Amino acid sequence: MTGPAPGPGLRTLRPGQSRGALVAGSVGNFIEWYEFGVYGYFATIIAARFFTPEGGSAVEALVKTYASFALAFFFRPVGAAVFGRLGDRIGRRPVLIVVIALMTGATTAIGALPTYATVGALAPWLLTLLRVLQGLSAGGEFGGAVSLMTEFAPPGRRGLYGSWQSFTVALGLLGGAGAAALLATLLSAEQLGDWGWRLPFLLTLPMGLGALWLRLRLAETPVFEAEREQVRQGEPERPAAGEVVRAVALGAGRVMGWSAAGYTLLVVLPSYLQSALNTSFRQALLATVLANLGFAAAIVPAGLLSDRIGRRPVMLAGAGLVVVLAVPLLNLLQESGTSNAAKGLAVCVAGGVVGLMAGPGPAMLAEMFPTSVRYTGLGLAYALSNAVFSGCAGLIITEAVKRTGNIDIPGYYAAATCAVSVLALAKVPHRKGS
């Protein structure tokens, strides 16, 4: 099932309206991925504060922390289904207002949570509850934000506009890494573990209030307004449920490599470097910042290129390169004789390759679904892929390395998932700007 062009084309947009929608859609993604990045970067500290009763091992606590991380991802499809259904019925704008408020409240509350030392076994349960709320809101964020951006995009610019969703993901991860690195530099290890880790979560409150203000000023998309008018005049033809299910499954396959490789190389990397390669917290964060810089630098050019030559060749190039390069790049990091410059270049290239998939990805998903099911369909495809292949990445990798002792596991994981995406991406219609 392939939907019609999601761009406006139905009425003339007022000057600046497309740019305003781009900003309002992007800011929620920034906050969402800033928080998820912060949680990943502080995973070892959170493990010690919330999941390590006296006598528990550090590895066991880290596995439990990633289990909580994965649980939030498994609630994303629920959020995508619930909020997506609402967004396809009552509009993109009101639903996006609700999800940013929910995300802001849950993330801020994490920064104020009591630890295991204070309330005992209640602490991990409270943290897990807030992670569930974050998963629900994040599931509703992606479908709405991408629908908003691509439906407001001028003709022939959907790849560019959709790429800003991924670009703000990169900015959010960089913001989280930057906040963690700054705190690790300014504070002692004891201060960071006692209270410093809370600050990045609490910072979400002013950012979220700013995002809420932007979305309250937002107009509904012209494509959705036209769809609603058709409903008033008589129920428009809707795709069959089986068609939607098949499109969701295919969409999930097309982005699973992006999801898995992105989280492996951009979020899980710090804890992997610390636990498997015995690097310091600061060195691990520096490597992650470089990977995210490469990721960010590639996204918008990849989206723009996909408007010119099509989504398929750009995304296939990214997935194929991960298959070929994931393990060799990881081996460079493992070699003690490799220079710091070479290691920095390796992680930067790894991030850039993922960016080739992330740039055109949102527009590709939006173009798979008609307006009447776009919010739900693309949100579910993305959320299901992330739930299985991103949310479980840290848990799978940490447990697999623990059981096998094979420190190449992250590379094999990224390569295998991207190999499946290569097969699914081969079916993307090959036409320029779509």
> Distance between CA atoms of 224 and 148, rounded to whole angstroms?
9
The CA-to-CA distance between both ends of the chain, in Å, stands at 14
Q: Could you read off the pLDDT of 338-377 as tens digits, one per residue?
A: 787 888 888 899 999 999 999 999 999 999 999 999 999 9
> Distance between CA atoms of 219 and 15, rounded to whole angstroms?
13
> Distance between CA atoms of 142 and 128, rounded to whole angstroms?
21
pLDDT for residue 325? 93
393, 263 in Cβ contact below 8 A?
yes
> Distance between CA atoms of 123 and 71, rounded to whole angstroms?
16
Classify residue 101 by burial, with Cβ atoms within 10 Å: 0-12, 13-18, 19+. Answer: middle
What are the structure tokens assigned to 264, written together?
């492996």
Within 8 A by CB and 6+ apart from 213, the residues are none
pLDDT for residue 7? 59
42, 180 in Cβ contact below 8 A?
yes
- Domains assigned to the chain: 17-425 (1.20.1250.20)
> Distance between CA atoms of 301 and 159, rounded to whole angstroms?
10
- Compute φ and ψ for 176, nearest 5 degrees: -65, -40
pLDDT for residue 434? 47
Within 8 A by CB and 6+ apart from 206, the residues are none
CA atoms within 13 A on the CB side of 274: 22
3-class DSSP state of 218: coil
Q: Sign of the C-alpha dihedral, residues 164, 358, 262, 65?
A: positive
Within 8 A by CB and 6+ apart from 421, the residues are 253, 254, 255, 256, 257, 258, 315, 319, 357
Residues of the chain short of pLDDT 70, as ranges, are 1-5, 7-15, 52-70, 235-237, 270-271, 275-276, 430-434
What would the DSSP string read from start to end of 39-58? HHHTHHHHHHHHS--TT--H
Run of H or E including 137: helix 122-152
What's the distance, CA 403 to chain centroid?
A: 28
pLDDT for residue 201? 92
pLDDT for residue 9? 47
Among residues 305, 293, 286, the alpha carbon closest in space to that of 363 is found at 305
pLDDT for residue 369? 94
pLDDT for residue 235? 66
